[in-house]
Chain A
Amino acid sequence: MSKLYLADPNSYDVKISKIKRHFSHKVEVYPPGSCPLTVQLSFLRTAAGQTCGKCVPCRDGLPLVARLLQKVINGDATQQTLDNIKMMAMMIRESSDCAIGWNAADEVLKGLELFADEYQSHIRFHKCDESVAQKVPCIALCPAHVDIPAYIALIAEEDYAGCINMIRKDNPFPTACGMVCEHPCEESCRRKMLESPINIRGLKKYAVDQMRVDQVRTPKPNPSTGKRIAIIGGGPAGMTCAYFLALMGHKAVVYEIHDKLGGMLRYGIPNYRFPKDRLDEDLNAILGAGDIEVIYETNVGKDIPIQKVRDEYDAMFVAIGAQSGKTLRIPGVDAANVYSAVEMLDEIGNGRLPDYTGKKVIVIGGGNVAMDAARSAIRCGAAEVSCIYRRRQKDMTALESEVESAIMEGVMLVTLQSPVEITKHEDGSCSGLSTQPQMVSTYSGDRPGTTAANKEQQHFEADVILIAVGQDIVSGPFEDFGMKADRRVFRAGLDTSVEGMPGVYVGGDCATGPSTVIRAIAAGKVAAHNIDEYLGYHHKLHCEAAAPEPRENIRTLLGRTEVGERPAFLRKKDFLHVEEEMTHEEAMQECSRCLRCDHFGCGAMEGGRDL
């Protein structure tokens, strides 16, 4: 036997593992607007570089397919080249020994279908499809395309009012987004090439903590146009639409079912995540922006016929949200003390706190609403709160930070358990939940599904059960009115228009299914601009703030500052805001990490950013 050795700490493998992380980050921050063929080619070249060299299909086939793909990009390809790519990729997928080969070929074949138009564009016209154009990542990935590098630079200049105005150009809810935005803008932040994305949400929170939004004057509205637009629903979509319409000089009339505005921001998100007085700052600023009238406690479709509203106004924007909780179809769901989590949060939002002192509470579900319900239950004095979820923790749709905070506050996660039956006491109140243990299974979409595990059913005792398995849209009256919906989600164009109903627009949760605040805001912004066009105007809104001159990029690796939270053992006792303020030094350091992609790189070009 030959001599044996321990792993060399200076081996290439050890060194590669150090740069591998940067490599995967590089891929993760693939800039929005990239040509999909370049993504495919990078993938393919990576795979070809990973070959061990044993088998013909992978060793010689992957470089060949990469070369043919390069020919497509070079404009030297014909339909025959495409057929050859497909033929060879199929052979590699079928004949390769290991996944290095067959997985790469599979991706090529998937790409040929997914990006068929792009392949044709390169073959026939020797160029990318017109949708391909690199954009500033954070601005592109923010659904409302807020000018993020500009407002971060304004924070760095300590111009918080300027920052708020810069945000408002595209989003009139700086406070809400500072507190609860899911920050898709951070996903492809170029700073991740070095270490981690900029804490964009945290910096926005810092700005609105320094300068309350309702203390910053909104831009002067245009002279009145005399046009009146009905907005149904006073949540983030509706109020965003109202804000921009008002600035344009139109009159916005908001019909709100509750006695207060805010929608899910008020009645869905608990106070400890987003204090209601802070929500009022956004709403006060919006209401002060121009001619906005709110008609409270009015259910359009019930109290007033929808057609009547439509007839009375020049245009209408439907933004009714997804307000009702879905329920489970299991025996015992009718037991007393079984509630929808949405209802429970709505009650709390209305100031009516349930008393769970000494009670065992089970929350069913793994989304943000489930986490909100569970953390609220703890704050209502529950002795024990369990969150029962059908899949694994990592499959939960709730933000990872929400799950983490819930666990810190004492919420017990019970995963891979599927509800079977709610058991009852003799008096008809719930006594617990029986579940069937699950095992993880094959993927359906982006997440693995589950199947019943070969384990006995379990029973969890409960005095209160909160069901958080999704939300529904009360679409019935609007469907009767003539709006089309798929499983109660309204059909809408990318311009938020309703097909066949000129002047009617729809957006927010009711057109997407339950989603994020910022997507609702984006819908409100798009609707306002398109209503303006529909009414024959072409208003341009002014922004009083401008992006400061950029400072040089800091190339030294610098850690990401997170927003601190009050200790779990303290915060779980009250509904006060859990998050702390960033210090000035933290905020300035975090601002300094921004690479100013609006200035350095494509952002400086005409068309290099989203509007």
Chain B
Amino acid sequence: MIKLTIDGKQFEADGDKTILNVCRENGIEIPTLCYLEKINEIGSCRLCVVEVEGLEKLVTACNTKVKEGMEVRTNTERVRRARENTLHLLMAEHKTNCFKCLKNGACELQYQARMHGVDVPNFQPSHYDVQHAPFDEHPFLSYDPGLCIQCQRCISTCAKATGRHALSLERNAARVYVKVPFGDNWKDTDCEGCGNCAQACPTGAITIKRRKDYREWEIKKVLTTCPHCGTGCQMELYVKNGKIVDVMGANGPSNQGLLCVKGRSGSIDFVDHPDRIRYPLIKNKESGEFERASWEEALDLVASKFNAIKENYGGEALAGFACSRSTNEDIYMLQKMVRAAFQSNNTDNCARV
């Protein structure tokens, strides 16, 4: 443990931590845009700059480790001015149109600009916009270069968190963009469409197309477990007027905020699908139609048929196969039933994702 001073107060901290870690642990607010813990610590946005006694320059809190005796000042005039000017630069290049933007209300740039009182940038843009049109051919994802702040959270997420390396930086002379696999050749790329890049994006540059169905302030968030496989990813369902409209990865021990393409884009549409079976059905042999039945009728029918098979052909004739979207508890119960009631070892599960 080392001792340091932040804004005049003494703190003890683990020497492996960054100034940002220590500040956040102690409730000292430091604005960030490009920072994603352990994923993007490249210090590109320079919004987290702080003063450190004895250093000529301002240092980025996100990737500067604390040191014994360090004296940090997080909110001086100099620091505030630097942050404001940084935001003016970002806002000058950002093609601001919050009304139209899917991220309105969820945009971190919007939030930081508001917190720093930067509503209209002081300057005109300095870069030519070489890329104008959004990349929009991908079924789930879209990239609007005009809204990109080049923080590289998406690139680092794709490289370090998902391991796909499907996103990279590309440039036109000194102007940089994110090279996204969302154009008309999206099928030929390494992109799996997981959308973690969109979730990482602080602005409306990379978005999940579902966002067009809601605004941030219209939804209620419900924490749940992804139903797809046995990984147990935590997710937040975005619910608008009682309907699930979107999914975000939540920070669970097995998924660390990430989701796969199935979790993000294949987990909710069936909920309100008209083909969904919402109660037990038993086939009327005479009419050939399925007719609504009670759970008792349905379960009794199934139990009697299973028992008949077991009596005629033995338990080995029966098998139980659980869907991977079931919970571990349900799957456990299923195999218990197969072994104890069927007296069969023929049981399995498809959760081999």
Contacts and interface: CB of A to CB of B under 8 A. Distances in A.
B277 interface: no
Given A48-B174, A91-B85, A95-B49, A53 B122 contact: no
B150 A59 contact: yes
Nearest to A92: B85
Contacts of B176: 53, 59
Interface string B195-228: 0000000000000000000000000000000000
Interface in B66-114: 78, 81-82, 85-86, 89-90, 92-93
Contact of B174 (A53, A84, A96, A97): A53
Interface stretch (A61-69, A237-245, A446-454): A61-69
A432 interface: no
A60 interface: yes
Given A53-B174, A55-B43, A56-B46, A91 B152 contact: no
A87 B45 CA distance: 18
Contacts of B152: 54
B127 A63 contact: yes
A604 B54 CA distance: 56
B123 interface: yes
A64 to B, nearest CB: 4
Nearest to A93: B57
A94 interface: yes
A530 interface: no
Nearest to B81: A91
Given A63-B127, A91-B82, A94-B78, A56 B58 contact: no
A206 interface: no
A51 interface: yes
Contacts of B326: none
A94 B173 contact: no
A87 B150 contact: no
B18 interface: no
Contacts of B90: 56, 60
Contact of B89 (A57, A93, A102): A57
Given A53-B150, A95-B46, A60 B93 contact: yes
Nearest to B169: A53
B44 interface: yes
Given A60-B93, A63-B126, A66-B126, A51 B174 contact: yes
A87 B169 CA distance: 30
A49 interface: yes
Contact of A64 (B78, B92, B150): B92
Interface residues of B, number: 33
Contacts of B49: 94-95
B234 interface: no
Nearest to B86: A56
B174 A59 contact: yes
B344 interface: no
Of the listed residues B85, B124, B169, the one surrounded by the most CB atoms of chain A closer than 10 A to its CB is B85
Contacts of A60: 89-90, 92-93, 126-127
B171 A53 contact: yes
A63 B174 contact: yes
Given A56-B45, A57-B46, A94-B82, A64 B126 contact: yes
Nearest to A47: B174
A257 to B, nearest CB: 53
A396 interface: no
A531 B42 CA distance: 67
A84 B123 CA distance: 10
B86 A95 contact: yes
B60 interface: yes
A88 interface: yes
A1 to B, nearest CB: 13
Contacts of A49: 173-174
A83 to B, nearest CB: 11
A585 to B, nearest CB: 47
Contacts of A102: 57
Given A49-B174, A54-B152, A63-B127, A84 B89 contact: no
B123 A95 contact: no
Contacts of A54: 42, 44, 150, 152
A87 B80 CA distance: 13
Contacts, number: 79
B122 A84 contact: yes
Taking residues whose C-beta sits less than 8 angstroms from the other chain, chain A's interface range is 20 to 34
Interface string B26-56: 0000000000000000111110010000001
B44 A56 contact: yes
Interface string A34-61: 0000000000000011010111110111
A57 B47 CA distance: 10
Contacts of A95: 46, 49, 57-58, 82, 86
B44 A55 contact: yes
A319 to B, nearest CB: 47
Contacts of B42: 54
Nearest to A63: B126
B184 to A, nearest CB: 26
Interface string B107-138: 00000000000000011101100000000000
Contacts of B149: 56
Interface in B1-43: 42-43
A64 B89 contact: yes
A91 B86 contact: yes
A86 B57 CA distance: 16
A57 B86 contact: yes
Contacts of A94: 49, 56-58, 78, 82
Nearest to B173: A49
Of the listed residues A63, A88, A93, the one surrounded by the most CB atoms of chain B closer than 10 A to its CB is A63
Contacts of B124: 67
B60 A97 contact: yes
B174 A61 contact: no
B87 to A, nearest CB: 9
Contacts of A48: 174
Contacts of B169: 53
Contacts of A56: 44-46, 86, 89-90, 149
A53 B124 CA distance: 19
B72 to A, nearest CB: 15
B120 to A, nearest CB: 15
Contacts of B57: 93-96, 102
Contacts of A93: 57
Contacts of B43: 55, 97
Nearest to B171: A53
Nearest to A91: B85
B337 to A, nearest CB: 48
A64 B56 CA distance: 23
Interface string B221-249: 00000000000000000000000000000
A66 to B, nearest CB: 7
Contact of B85 (A51, A66, A67, A87): A87
A64 B150 CA distance: 17
Contacts of B126: 60, 63-64, 66-67
Interface in A507-538: none
Contacts of B174: 48-49, 51, 53, 59, 63
A24 to B, nearest CB: 20
Nearest to A101: B46
Contacts of B81: 87, 91
Contacts of B56: 94
A521 to B, nearest CB: 45
Interface of A: 48-49, 51, 53-57, 59-61, 63-64, 66-67, 84, 87-88, 91, 93-97, 102
Given A53-B171, A64-B89, 8 more contacts: A48-B174, A53-B150, A55-B46, A59-B174, A64-B126, A91-B85, A96-B57, A97-B60
11 contacts: A48-B174, A53-B150, A53-B171, A53-B174, A55-B46, A56-B89, A64-B126, A88-B89, A94-B78, A95-B49, A95-B82
Which 8 pairs from chain A and chain B are nearest by CB? A53-B176, A63-B126, A60-B89, A91-B85, A64-B126, A95-B46, A54-B44, A94-B58
